[in-house]
Chains A and B, each alone.
Chain A
Amino acid sequence: MIGTIAVSTGSLLVLVGLWSALTNRDIIRMIVGFTIFDVGIHLIMISVGYISGGTAPIISNLSDIGVSYVDPVPQALVLTAIVIGLGITAFMLTYAVNMYEKKGTLEIDKFEELKW
């Protein structure tokens, strides 16, 4: 149940993030949209790895047997994904800073120098 709720929430966040990235003309708001999109994906990832009744995969005692752990793989993946997302966000922000300095605006439709 927890897993399904989390997956649904994640999916919703994905859509919300995309909505704001697609409908806001302001570049900073688009970037925020993308971070929401990312968070949604991360949530989906984590919840897919959830095992009913599982606990964090940290083994305090080697003799612990019968303890149910959640899947560590998606957790490792999500760590990587978060860092990648962070890198991309920093990256987009840098672009935004530079674009603003060049043009004095952050409207996405003002950056159509190249087309056709």
Chain B
Amino acid sequence: MVEPIYLIVIALGAAFLLGLLRKTGSALQIALTLAALAGMVFISAQWAYGIIKGTTQAAEIFTSGMNPPLSINLFMGRSEAVLLLLVNSAAFLSTMYLGREHKKTSVYMLMLLLVFVVGLNGIILTRDLFNLFVFIEIVSIASAGLIALRSDIRQLGAGFKFIIAGALASGFMLIGIIFTYYATGSLNIDVITGMMSPALASAGYIGLFLVFIGIMIELKPFPVNGWGIDAYQASIPPVSALVAAGTATAMFYAFTKITAMTGGIFLNASMYIGALTFVGMNVVALKQTAARRLLGYSSISQVGLLVLVFSLVKIFGIAGGELIVFGLLVSHALAKAVLFWLSGIIGKESINDWGIIRKRNILIVAFAVAVGALLALPPFPSFFAKWELITSLAVKGQYGWIAVILGGALLEAVYLMRWFGNAVKDSFNEEDNLDFRFGTLVPVITGTAALLALGYFSANLSVFENNINWLLPAVVIVLLLLDFLPAIVKNILLIAAIAWYGYPLLQAIEGYRSIFAAIFVIGAVITLLPGFMNKGRRPGFYPAVSMMFAGLVGIIEATDMLTFFFFWELMTLGSYFLILRGKKSKPHALSYMLFSLGGAYLLMTGFSMSFAEAGGTSIALDILKTVSGSSLSGIITILLAVGFMTKTASAGLHIWLPGAHAEAEGDVSPMVSGILLKAGVFGLLMTFIALGDQSIGKINIPYVLSWIGVITALTANYMAAMQEDAKRLLAYSSIAQMGYALFGISLMSHLGWLSALSLAIVHFTYKVILFLSVAGVVHRVKTRNMYQMGGLITRMPVTFFMVLVSIIALSGIPPLAGFSGRWLTYNAVIEKGWLLQGVVAGVSGLIAFLYLFRLIFAIFLGQLKDVHRRVKEAPFWILLPQILLILLVLYLSFFPGAFLRPIGDIVSEFHPEGALVWNGATAVSEFGYWNGEAVMWVFIALFAANFALLFFLNRGAQKIKQFNIVYAAERPARPETTHFAYNMFAPYRKALGFLEYPITTKFWSGVADLMHSIAGFTRRIYTGNGQTYLLQIIVFVVISFLLSNGGK
């Protein structure tokens, strides 16, 4: 073990040595600097490893050969070692990034960099109050120098503001230190901590307060941090990265030392300041478009979160709190450094110009990883930290703080995901260049890899046992690494992987999970088949799609809440990437992500609440059952149900779906519509299986949901009928179908659930077919507008047949499989007595005929457009999955018992009463009976007879060619308006137009506008005037003093 004092010796020695090497080559200078930093990384790594492994004891370092408190002592413990490793690595990588930058500026730059690192190390190590102050000053001076490396007017202005604000903060701190010395007679942090008593705290109150507030100002609390944001924005990227990863980390650690020293008397203050900073900065960031300023906002808000979390952990005595704080801190530091480095590589001021990132795929990956880590998505350390935090807060009953933390995180997601979406979708100028070189790439890759690796390790640090199956995310990583292969190879690999993993899974899994497992696994294989059409590499598709399916399989396998939530978020993320690939899907993917995250946070809260209610010891999913009798069970049910309903896109939470599903790529739409939506159904079932029929007060939750379900079905069916775009039509149809599923579940009876489950299966089959059919058509005719199609029956007969069968199945009329669900629903409705809902469901079923008719009629019937006369049948790889599924539909239609019976057995486990009685192929319920097989034969007979009759009657009919002049007429100005399929249901629109009023869209866009105008208003406090900033700081100090001093 190298003595930690050498951290300081090495860096200072190198800095002084550089002074001697002024005249030598720049290569030698940078080599010396890097060598010194590498040495420091080595020393800190050695300590971190030793202490964590338990082979080394934490060490105290006495300077000047005297024992403290006579001399200044340093302390190297676990926290210190880890933070030093982080800070020194960030410094090393940033220096590497800088490369020969100092040739442009001067060797002073390297000296300042080393001095800066000395300061950071000192802040973390020292146990002396005044010494802490000295090191903070070193950091301020060095960073103020590094801000102005380019010495343009913006940097000078920002640097000056930074110095005067820092001088003010350090002035307060200095007065505080000397007052504290007066009160305690010591400067040693440990001695003062030991002496701290209420009496002493009161005598030295002003001193301690000034020390506290000085540190607080250094952490840049909202709203007195304009100077800090300017510095982030003005500095060159590697310096900003170092400030974000290094200074923020070290200062935060200093804050924790001071908090311990003051005996926690300012914890309430820091809690509120932290919360204000976290939420305030995220609000203000909504309006920001300058990339580095936005990152500055985000950095400060994350530090605010750290302060808040640290205070909460201390106030409520949360066990394992240190790990929570560390998980968040490390994730933030690494992610922010990566983002700042990226901003340098991109070299664009505005977040709207980041499209250039697509020139190099690795940069997109790094960007995604960094954003994911900031948003605490799996598998990053922050994910696990946030989970533990929220569950711990729930145990302490702090739901208000849970709301603050998750609400703030959602705001952060808005701007980060919007930025990511812009980068992936926006156009860019091909001639612009990236600063893409070894020196800039290594830091980015190292940071990205570290985030991924740490995620894996932090899962094991978690307090709770979890059974996360890392094989699943590993597949994603493998496909990411293999992204250079042709799409066909990757498709084979992925299908093979799914089959290899899924086959034993399907055999092993039991109960209602097996139904969904079948949909997910079989659906995955089938919907991947069209991928074989792709001749190129299809970059980015396979990591995303595998992530989604890994998530789906993961939630099926999960037995504990953490694992479930892990895979739930993984699935969300994967599907977001998939949807984002669509040409015009940018805004829809964003709203999808935001609704999903909001839903996920509700789930998290619901899980945490049940964890707390069940005694706070086990996170098994089974404990949901045990809380069904508790006083909070109603709220838990609502949280979980609403969380899952964001996925099934129930009315009110649906606005993301039509765009997302319609704009997705041809073979992605069936995945997200036919398969992914079932995850929500799965979740709803899981919730109600565990929690049962819950009420809040006199309001019965399933009753409310039943209304939501049928209203969703009604309005979505109507909206579907009014679409011109075939894919949007299908998307609305999915919303409606999920409404039926919700309705079925809400009936809370055997037949209701049976209908919901059978609907889940058949909806999967026909929705995949329909989306693929439409994809085939769109592939050929290059438009999604149905009025631009017509008569394609002659050109695409197979597709026509697929659509025909599917819409019959979908419409729920006999003889096809959809009818079974409908029949069961009505039986269940009568049984339950919810007739009014039944009527609404029935009406919406009628409206469904409108869009189904429109779909087949507008696309396939009528006259063939001239331009489509040479259109070919859909490609084989699009037809193949449809054929496979149509066979399944027909099988299920012939033998409904084949799937209704086993599902019935499964449902009987939860609702034994009212089960169907099977009499051969006949299902008998309380209210009637149904024999799918017989009905099928009757239909076939009737169909054949009618067909023959028509054929016979029409045998003399004349076939009218398209350009038969008898039918010719004048050509109108807008030809499409005369097409029968254009605004097809205008008369209905007159009657039912009120259904189209976009209440939900207006509501949500109102929320968005409100947040943005708050942001626009609030950010005016950042006037840019240094003097105003000074005044703000003083106001902050005075107000904080008044508030925290309160009664005294």
Contact = CB atoms under 8 A, between A and B. Distances in A.
A74 B186 CA distance: 11
A113 B1024 contact: yes
Interface stretch (B150-158, B408-416, B540-548, B628-636): B150-158
Contacts of A34: 164, 167
B175 A81 contact: no
Nearest to A88: B167
B153 A109 contact: no
A10 B243 CA distance: 34
- Max chain B CB contacts within 10 Å: which of A25, A102, A115? A115
B1030 A21 contact: yes
B777 interface: no
Contacts, number: 116
A116 B171 contact: no
B252 to A, nearest CB: 23
Question: Do most interface residues of chain B lie in helix, strand or loop, or is the interface mixed?
Answer: helix
A116 B182 CA distance: 41
A45 B178 contact: yes
A37 B171 contact: yes
Contact of A103 (B153, B178, B179, B1030): B153
The contact size tier of chain B is 35 or more
Contact of A25 (B137, B154, B177, B1027): B1027
Contacts of B141: 87-88, 91
A116 B1020 contact: yes
Contacts of B167: 34, 37, 88, 92
B175 A14 contact: yes
Contacts of B1023: 112, 115
A3 to B, nearest CB: 10
Contacts of A62: none
B181 interface: yes
A77 B178 contact: yes
A4 to B, nearest CB: 12
A98 B157 CA distance: 10
Interface string A85-116: 00110011001101100110000110111111
A51 interface: no
Interface stretch (B226-234, B577-585, B719-727): B226-234
Contact of A77 (B130, B293, B1022, B1026): B130
A32 interface: no
B175 A30 contact: no
Main secondary structure of the interface of A (DSSP, over half): helix
A86 to B, nearest CB: 11
A114 B171 contact: no
Interface in B1002-1022: 1019-1020, 1022
A22 B167 CA distance: 13
A80 B275 CA distance: 36
A77 B133 CA distance: 11
Contacts of B182: 48
B233 A92 contact: no
B163 interface: yes
Interface string B799-825: 000000000000000000000000000
Contacts of B1019: 116
A73 interface: yes
A73 B160 contact: no
A73 B164 contact: no
A106 to B, nearest CB: 11
Contact of B157 (A44, A81, A99): A99
Interface of A: 14, 18, 21-22, 25, 27, 30, 34, 37-38, 41, 44-45, 48, 73-74, 77, 80-81, 84, 87-88, 91-92, 95-96, 98-99, 102-103, 108-109, 111-116
9 contacts: A22-B1027, A25-B1027, A30-B1027, A48-B181, A74-B181, A91-B145, A92-B163, A102-B156, A112-B157
Given A34-B167, A92-B160, 4 more contacts: A84-B137, A88-B137, A95-B156, A109-B1027
Interface of B: 130, 134, 137, 141, 144-145, 148, 151-154, 156-161, 163-164, 167-168, 170-171, 174-175, 177-179, 181-182, 187, 226, 229-230, 233-234, 287-288, 293, 1019-1020, 1022-1027, 1030-1031, 1034
6 tightest Cβ-Cβ pairs between the two chains A and B: A115-B1024, A112-B1024, A111-B157, A114-B230, A113-B154, A45-B178
